[in-house]
Amino acid sequence: MPRFLILFFLLLIPFTACQKETATKNKIADKPLFRDPIFDGAADPVVIWNRQTETWNMVYTNRRANTEGLDGVTWVHGTRIGIAESIDGGASWTYKGISNIPEPYTETHWAPDVLEHEGLYHMYLTYVPGIFDNWSHPRDIIHLTSTNLVDWEYQSTLELANHKVIDADVIQLPDGTWRMWYNNEMDHKSIYYADSEDLYTWEDKGKAVGDQAGEGPNIFEWKGHYWMVTDVWDGLGLYRSEDLVDWERIPGNLVQEPGTGEDDGVAGQHPDIVVNDDRAYLFYFTHPGRVESETDPYQQRRSSIQVVELKYEDGKITADRNEPTYINLKPPTK
């Protein structure tokens, strides 16, 4: 082989390796990111690292979007929490099954929040004791634990503001204790909070945010501030806090304007924000068939999970859902 060809191939090797490394680090997320293959009703996503399988897991509410003959809101009842898995840092997801929640807490599951602490997973799950065609029935937040993110053991039903509470979100405070935010449906769907020293015993503290109705609170720390997003059914309301007690409403809603991507042409709903390597990713769901031209009940009900990277500039958070989202979530270091 001529010497110039040998030199060419030697130069090509590191270039090719660099291309492969770049491709691995900068994968474009699927759009939609995920659809449930059983009921086509995936919503309320929560993304967490599974230490046992060393993959990212998504746990999510499922609704019976493709089931015919269901009256009223029966279609949002009667399902277990779904599980999807990603082996490529969150760019694509595969359905893995459902969470095993023990009897008698099996009828209807909504809006899980899942965290890991000292090798044990904790789920705070909205549990509805039945399958109903209206919204008039009780719902509580129950606490479960697991060692594998699949099989769960019941711990308690939380004593919160009342028995119409949904959508828990829990973070650890700087002093090592824990705080939960949730939606109190009986107080104009305001956001309430409760505190715990050990994740098991909770003390309700009252209202956190009540300037507008909203649900699905998600709280995260990023860029030197604490942030809260809530689903206000016209995109996501955004709040900022310095102490996790007093919240300032930020004008404008995230993912409010319809996007141009597949299944993304409506406002985004009930989010989870994952801050990873100082980048923040907003996982949300859409009801893509809820447009004026669509009247088919299945299309109105079905839902898809999406993801967009948040940007921070001049003290403001933005989300351009029409730009490709490059994502490669790194495993936690502790």
pTM, two decimal places: 0.92
Q: What is the pLDDT of residues 150-202, one digit of tens each?
A: 999 999 999 999 999 999 999 999 999 999 999 999 999 999 999 999 999 99
3-class SS letters over the chain:
CCHHHHHHHHHHHHHHHHHHHHHHHCEECCCCCECCCCCCECEEEEEEEECCCCEEEEEEECCCCCCCCCCCCHHHCCCCCEEEEECCCCCCCEEEEECECCCCCCCEEEEEEEEEECCEEEEEEEEECCCCCCCCCCEEEEEEEECCCCECEEEEECCCCCCEEEEEEEEECCCCCEEEEEEECCCCCEEEEEEECCCCCEEEEEEEECCCCCEEEEEEEECCEEEEEEECCCCEEEEEECCCCCCEEEEEEECCCCCCCCCCCCCCEEEEEEEECCEEEEEEEECCCCCCCCCCHHHHHCEEEEEEEEEEECCEEEECCCCCCEECCCCCCC
Q: What pLDDT, on a 0 to 100 scale, did the predictor assign at position 83?
A: 98
Task: Give mean pLDDT, residues 249-277.
Answer: 97
CA-atom Rg of the chain in angstroms = 21
pLDDT tops 60 at residue 326: yes
Tokens 């040998």 correspond to 6
CB 20 within 8 A of CB 27: no
Q: From the options 3.30.360.10, 3.30.40.230, 2.115.10.20, 3.50.50.60, give the CATH code of 28-327.
A: 2.115.10.20
Q: Please, which residues have CB within 8 angstroms of residue 320's CB and are 6 or more apart in sequence?
A: 308, 311
Band of residue 2 on the pLDDT scale cut at 50, 70, 90: low
3-class SS letters over 131-164:
CCCCCCCCEEEEEEEECCCCECEEEEECCCCCCE
CB 228 within 8 A of CB 244: no
Q: What is the pLDDT of residues 7-20, one digit of tens each?
A: 444 444 443 344 33
Q: What pLDDT, on a 0 to 100 scale, did the predictor assign at position 333?
A: 85
Instruction: Spell 216-237 as b/e; 16+ CB within 10 A means b.
Output: bbbbbeeeeebbbbbbbeebbb
Q: What is the pLDDT of residues 27-76, one digit of tens each?
A: 999 999 999 999 999 999 999 999 999 999 999 999 999 999 999 999 99
CB 154 within 8 A of CB 102: yes
Q: What pLDDT, on a 0 to 100 scale, did the predictor assign at position 29?
A: 98
Q: Please, which residues have CB within 8 angstroms of residue 308's CB and are 6 or more apart in sequence?
A: 255, 281, 282, 284, 319, 320, 321, 323, 325
Q: What is the pLDDT of residues 277-288, one digit of tens each?
A: 999 999 999 999
Name the residue ranges covered by the structural domains of the chain: 28-327
Band of residue 3 on the pLDDT scale cut at 50, 70, 90: low
Least confident of 13-17, 21-25, 318-322: 13-17
| The token pair that represents 301 in the structure block | 């009900």
Q: What pLDDT, on a 0 to 100 scale, did the predictor assign at position 205?
A: 98
Band of residue 6 on the pLDDT scale cut at 50, 70, 90: very low
Q: What is the pLDDT of residues 83-100, one digit of tens each?
A: 999 999 999 999 999 999
pLDDT tops 70 at residue 23: no
pLDDT tops 90 at residue 315: no
Q: Is 115 exposed, middle or buried (0-12, 13-18, 19+ CB in 10 A)?
A: middle
- Cα 54 to chain centroid, rounded: 19
CB 27 within 8 A of CB 329: no
Q: What is the pLDDT of residues 110-165, one digit of tens each?
A: 999 999 999 999 999 999 999 999 999 999 999 999 999 999 999 999 999 999 99
What is the number of alpha carbons within 13 Å of residue 134 lying toward its C-beta? 2
Band of residue 5 on the pLDDT scale cut at 50, 70, 90: very low
